[in-house]
Amino acid sequence: MAMSTLATAFITRRHNCSVFHYFLVACVTDKLDGPMTQATMDHLPLFADLNARPCLIVGGGPVALRKARQLLRAGAAVTVNAPALHPGIEALLQAGRLRHAPGPFDAALIGEHFLVIAATDDPDTNARIAAASEQAMRLCNIVDDGERSSFIMPAVVDRAPVVVAVGSGGRAPMLARVLRQRLDAWLHPRTGALADWLAAWRQPLRERLPKLDQRVAFLQQLLDGPAAAHVLAGRRHAADRALETQLDGQRPQAGEAWLVGAGPGDPSLLTLRALELLQRADAVLHDALVPDAILDLARRDAERVCVGKRGGQPSTAQDAIIDEMLRRVREGQRVCRLKGGDPLVFARGGEELQALAAAGLPFEIVPGVTAASAAAAAAGIPLTHRRLAAGVSFVAGYRADDQAITDWAALARSGHTLAVYMGAGRLAEICAALRSAGLPATTPAALIARAALPEQRVYAGDIGSLGARAAAADRPALLLVGETAALAGELADGRARGDRQAAAG
Ligand SMILES: C[S@@+](CC[C@H](N)C(=O)[O-])C[C@H]1O[C@@H](n2cnc3c(N)ncnc32)[C@H](O)[C@@H]1O
């Protein structure tokens, strides 16, 4: 799909937040209560239609090639003025994609062109190009020289026909590039298809909803609802049907449930799909382990219901959670059932899915980073290792009905790394059980408390001593046992060295 307009929009907000926060400002503006302090705009954002318009690039090197590709993508009629051409430009010339004006810079060429890009490595030539363009009143960009340029090129996320452009007024190109990368990861790959689909419906919607405010409200609901989700999933017919349903003023018969993994607690470890669904849900039914930093990413008007359970403490009964979820979905709500870690690892997600399936209600499962993975990364402990552990076993160290469900003897023989969930409260007991099952007291072990959270702490040792050392560890915490746990110190040290080197560099 050709990009019909060349993006020249610039975001020039200035603030003192981290890059990640800036990213959220760009992407989740409806989460902000008011505008941030704004500097004067250095450049007016424009999207220029260059289709078939003559554009001049002076210079024949790799930078000129890059600019030529950008202009050609916008449909421009490109002429390259240079004595010699980079092989890439030569190839475009041979393919009839652009024209060549041989020889040194010729000021007479300027007046014939809509805009000019100076991509030579000679400052004097670039200065002459800038002066000649100014005199002829042509827009001119001098590559890497914002001061002399009358326009600058932004960093672009291309989902043609949707184009997002980010600029820093030429002050921080690297920041603009990082923001572009983040927007690129965030923006759905089929955003362009969504725009095309909306364009196809534009006229029919005008006819059926003649009042502007009526159309605006309808489109806002549409973009937040199942029709848009169908387009993004490539189901155009289903999208058309959902739009018709909305037009008929009917809510869908049943809503949807999304069983979403929130990861170990750090918002940056959420999947993109989890973030997307969190921002679309009408209601978020969440576990106690999910922190506010993640819940705050939900839609502002979404209802948040804590149905949390903590080992051993009174909590919402599982049947009540299921009833609540089914009731809401039947009423037509889109329910995000948000669970810590992965929803299918020690999370009773299976029971909730069985209930949804039995009720014939639609659902989607979004995996999350499970605590064992987060703890392993925190401590520098590989869960498997070619020579040390042929596998990993996820086991529960606690069960509400207090029955011994874990066959420690079989696990001791397995040669696996053992990832023990919900075991911190019975640490000494579990270590003793493993020793009775045949593991030597010197078997390496580590307890990782609050993995991937700011207060993360690793207690490394062996099953002979860890119970006493880590008895007072913060919760939640996960126990890793096995030869791989001996690498905790080694790899953690390596990482610390790397950090120090990075800081020094
Ligand atoms: C009911 S289970 C839920 C597991 C979750 N579904 C998952 O995939 O990580 C709760 C246990 O997960 C572990 N856990 C959860 N978050 C953790 C974290 N940030 N750090 C260490 N362990 C964690 C603890 O062992 C805790 O007792």
339 C-beta closer than 6 A to ligand 1: yes
Q: Whose CA is nearest to atom 12 of ligand 1?
A: 421
* Of 101-110, 303-312, 344-353, 453-462, minimum mean pLDDT range: 303-312
Whether 394 lines ligand 1, by a CB cut-off of 6 Å, is: no
Round to whole Å and give the CA distance between 229 and 206: 22
According to the model, what pLDDT value does residue 424 have?
92
What's the confidence (pLDDT) of residue 177?
87
Rounded mean pLDDT, 301-321: 79
Q: Quickly state the pLDDT bin for 43 (edges 50, 70, 90).
A: confident
- Among 266, 287, 342, 462, the one annotated catalytic: 287
Give the pLDDT score at 157. Answer: 92
Is the pLDDT at 9 greater than 70? The verdict is no
How much is the pLDDT for 388?
Answer: 94
Longest Cα pair distance anywhere in the chain, in angstroms? 91
Instruction: Decide: 309 in ligand 1 pocket, CB within 6 A.
Output: no
Nearest-CA residue for atom 15 of ligand 1: 371
Mutate to test the pocket of ligand 1, among 321, 342, 346 (most ligand atoms within 8 A of CB): 346
Q: Give the nearest ligand 1 atom to 453 CA.
A: 19
Atom of ligand 1 nearest to the CA of 368: 8
* C-beta 452 within 6 A of ligand 1: yes
Strand locations in 28-114 (E): 46-48, 54-58, 77-82, 99-102
**Residue 476 Cβ contacting ligand 1 at under 6 Å:** yes
Domains of the chain, CATH where assigned: 6-186 (3.40.50.720), 191-247 (no CATH), 256-366 (3.40.1010.10), 372-493 (3.30.950.10)
Q: Is residue 260 within 8 Å of residue 447, measured between CB atoms?
A: no
What is the reported pLDDT for 421?
95
Condensed to tens digits (0 to 9), the pLDDT of residues 162-221 reads: 999 998 877 788 898 899 999 998 899 999 999 999 999 999 999 999 888 888 888 988
Beta bridge partner(s), residue 257: 335, 363
Q: What average pLDDT does the chain have? A: 85
Backbone angles phi, psi at 338, to 5 degrees: -100, 120
Residue 6 pLDDT level (bands cut at 50, 70, 90): very low
What is the pLDDT at residue 490?
A: 64
Cα 393 to ligand 1 centre (Å): 15
Assess whether the C-beta atom of 113 lies below 6 angstroms from ligand 1.
no
Asked whether residue 18 carries a pLDDT value surpassing 50, the answer given is no
**Cα of 423 from ligand 1 centre, angstroms:** 10
Q: Is the CB of 397 under 6 A from ligand 1?
A: no
Average pLDDT of the residues in 296-324: 82
- 10 Å CB burial of residue 426 (0-12, 13-18, 19+) is middle
CA dist., res. 363 & res. 338, Å (int): 13
Closest protein CA for atom 26 of ligand 1 = 422
Q: Using 50, 70 and 90 to split pLDDT, how confident is the model at 146? A: confident
- Residue 259 reports pLDDT greater than 90: yes
pLDDT at res. 403: 54
Is the pLDDT reported for residue 45 higher than 70? yes
Q: For residue 259, how far is its CA from the centre of ligand 1 (angstroms)?
A: 17
For ligand 1, atom 27, the nearest C-alpha belongs to 422
Distance CA 17, CA 32 (A): 13
Which has the closest alpha carbon to 398: 367, 432, 421? 421
- pLDDT higher at 33 or 475: 475
Task: Determine what percent of the chain is predicted with pLDDT higher than 90.
Answer: 66
pLDDT at 226: 84
pLDDT digits (tens, 9 = 90+) for 69-103: 999 999 999 999 999 999 999 999 999 999 999 99
Give me the pLDDT at residue 400, please.
63
pLDDT tens per residue across span 466-500: 988 888 889 999 999 999 999 986 665 444 443 33
Active site residue 309: yes
Candidates 337, 394, 422: which one to mutate for ligand 1, based on the most atoms within 8 Å of Cβ? 422
Q: Is 183 in the pocket of ligand 1 (CB under 6 A)?
A: no
**Pick from 15-19, 109-113, 133-137, 381-385: least confident:** 15-19
* Overall average pLDDT of the 58-70 stretch: 96
pLDDT at 23 over 70: no
| pLDDT given at position 315 | 66
C-alpha 390 to ligand 1 mean position (Å)? 23
pLDDT tens-place string over residues 366-396: 999 999 999 999 999 999 999 999 999 999 9
Taking the centre of ligand 1 as the mean of its atom positions, its distance from the CA of residue 449, in whole angstroms, is: 10
- Location of structure tokens 């040290």: 493
**Annotation says 287 is catalytic:** yes
Atom of ligand 1 at shortest range from CA of 421: 25
Q: Output 364 or 44, whichever has higher pLDDT.
A: 364
Q: For helices 191-208 and 236-247, what crossing angle results, to 10°? A: 30
Going from the Cα of 342 to the center of ligand 1, the distance in angstroms, rounded, reads: 9
Which residues contact residue 351 at a Cβ distance below 8 angstroms, ignoring those fewer than 6 apart?
318, 322
Residue among 67, 266, 282, 309 flagged as catalytic: 309
Residue 452 CA to ligand 1 centre (angstroms): 11
Q: What is the pLDDT averaged over residues 436-450?
A: 96
For residue 451, pLDDT beyond 80: yes
